[in-house]
Amino acid sequence: MLVLTRKRNETIRIGSNIKVKVLEVSGSYVKIGIEAPLEIPVYREELYQKILEENRASLISRELDGQYLKEVISRKAG
């Protein structure tokens, strides 16, 4: 991992079009601003990990009772 030291209001540039700026440092918290092209998704890592785990948990298991699956996806909107 590349480690860089920055002060408040200093910036890191990633590639030609992504900028990460240190906006505020307070105790153990750091507020950062990110400028990136709209099509580049930016997420908090813990949120991404949460969704990743939810997706994996949502996989239809091979062991799932086929009849149960049919019942489920045959349900109509309430």
Residues in the site for another protein, rule: CB under 8 A? 38-39, 41, 43, 47-48, 50-62, 64-66, 68-70, 72-78
Q: Shortest approach of another protein to residue 18 CB, angstroms?
A: 15
Between the alpha carbon of residue 62 and those of residues 12, 65, 66, the distances in Å are 46, 8, 9
Closest CA to 11 of 39, 36, 28: 36
62 is written with which tokens? Answer: 């091979």
32 is written with which tokens? Answer: 């950062």
Q: Is residue 40 within 8 Å of residue 52, measured between CB atoms?
A: no
Which CB atom, from 7 or from 76, has the smaller least distance to another protein? 76
Which CB atom, from 34 or from 52, has the smaller least distance to another protein? 52
Q: Shortest approach of another protein to residue 34 CB, angstroms?
A: 13
Q: Shortest approach of another protein to residue 24 CB, angstroms?
A: 19
